[in-house]
Structure 1
Amino acid sequence: MTLRAFEEKDDDLLIGWIDSEQLNYLWGGPKFDFPLDTNQIRQHCSQPQVHPFVFDVEGKAAGYVELYKESDTHFRICRVFVSNVFRGQGIAKTMLSQLIKLAKAEFKVRLLSLAVFEHNQVAKHCYESLGFVQTSREMGTRSFEGEIWALLLMEKQL
């Protein structure tokens, strides 16, 4: 199981995985329009503060995750996704464990933060199992099809 840099050739992975408007919003928030396309991905990934990765399992792409540089010592984990084929196998926890080690070793990160929709309990429990703690709850900043989605902010000191 390997975390590797996301490349242009991987765009079609994301486009294939993010196959509904709701999943697009759950994964990318208001940042991306559905359907996801190469232009949006390239524009996003070309930003210097965005560090995108693919998680490979036995030579097959199983997930996607980003580190987003907030400051020299603070990065955010963004856009965590595990392919349907690999869900329910603990892949997210393994992928995130490797990302945390990489953040500390390569970027000298001291604080990792993330945001997760409150109703995404599987993701929330995964983050908690990795030592993230909830620092606040935002209500009214995100909605999908008229339904307000509460956003939980979480942090982990490294």
Structure 2
Amino acid sequence: MTTLSLTPFRPAEDGPLLRTWVRTPTELMTWAGPSFTWPLDDAQFAAYAAEPGRHTWTAVSPGNHPVGHVSVAGTRLGRVLIAPEQRALGLGRTLVSQAVGLCFGELGLPEVTLGVWAHNTAAIRIYESLGFRTEQILTDVEEVDGAPWSAHQMRLTAPAR
């Protein structure tokens, strides 16, 4: 497994790089749902990072090179993103695994929930490999580029202590 560290997301420093990872309105919807507007800007990242109860992290590889992003609000894991040039290397699974570890450890959450677009099968495979299970499928909740998008609502319960 690749080693990553999760460091607090700094909007002014990390936002410009994150913006280069989300290159189109469709990629923005895939990453964050309808909560951001295109084009991404510094004000949106600052507001996002300042949301009460939201924990945001940048994933860095050895050598302190940013390679990903993730956040948690309440029990909801989201905004999982790997830098385009770093995809298909196993970093997504490592990033989610570490974020879940923080949720159940440092944050003391009883469960972690998430939503993922039904067509994002690579992400669904990662979540299922870590124990997440689909509890509900929301059909046609968004329309993107003229196509309806459905979403899996998934849950993982904290291990017994």
**Is the Cα–Cα contact under 8 Å of residues 104 and 111 in structure 2 kept in the other structure?**
no
> Could you tell me which residue of structure 2 aligns to residue 3 of structure 1?
6
CA distance in 2, matches of 1:26, 1:47: 21
Q: Secondary structure at the match of 1:89?
A: coil
> Could you tell me which residue of structure 1 aligns to residue 65 of structure 2?
60
CA distance in 2, matches of 1:50, 1:143: 27
CA distance in 2, matches of 1:146, 1:44: 28
Match 1:47 to one of 24, 31, 51: 51
After TM superposition, the structure 1 stretch with the greater mean CA deviation from structure 2, 8-17 or 117-126, is 8-17
> Could you tell me which residue of structure 2 aligns to residue 142 of structure 1?
142
When the two chains are superposed, the root-mean-square deviation of aligned CA atoms in Å is 0.9
- Runs ≥4 in structure 1, deviation > 6 angstroms? none
> Could you tell me which residue of structure 2 aligns to residue 111 of structure 1?
111
The answer to whether the aligner puts 1:22 opposite 2:26 as a matched pair is yes
Q: Secondary structure at the match of 1:141?
A: strand
Unmatched runs of 5 consecutive residues or more in structure 2: none
Q: How many aligned residue pairs are there?
A: 153
**1:140: how far off?**
2.5
TM-score by length of 1: 0.94
**1:146: how far off?**
2.0
CA distance in 2, matches of 1:40, 1:3: 21
CA distance in 2, matches of 1:21, 1:98: 28
Aligned sequence identity (%) = 27
Q: Secondary structure at the match of 1:78?
A: strand
CA distance in 1, matches of 2:67, 2:157: 27
After TM superposition, the structure 1 stretch with the greater mean CA deviation from structure 2, 128-137 or 96-105, is 96-105
Residue identity opposite 1:41 in structure 2: F
After TM superposition, the structure 1 stretch with the greater mean CA deviation from structure 2, 143-152 or 129-138, is 143-152
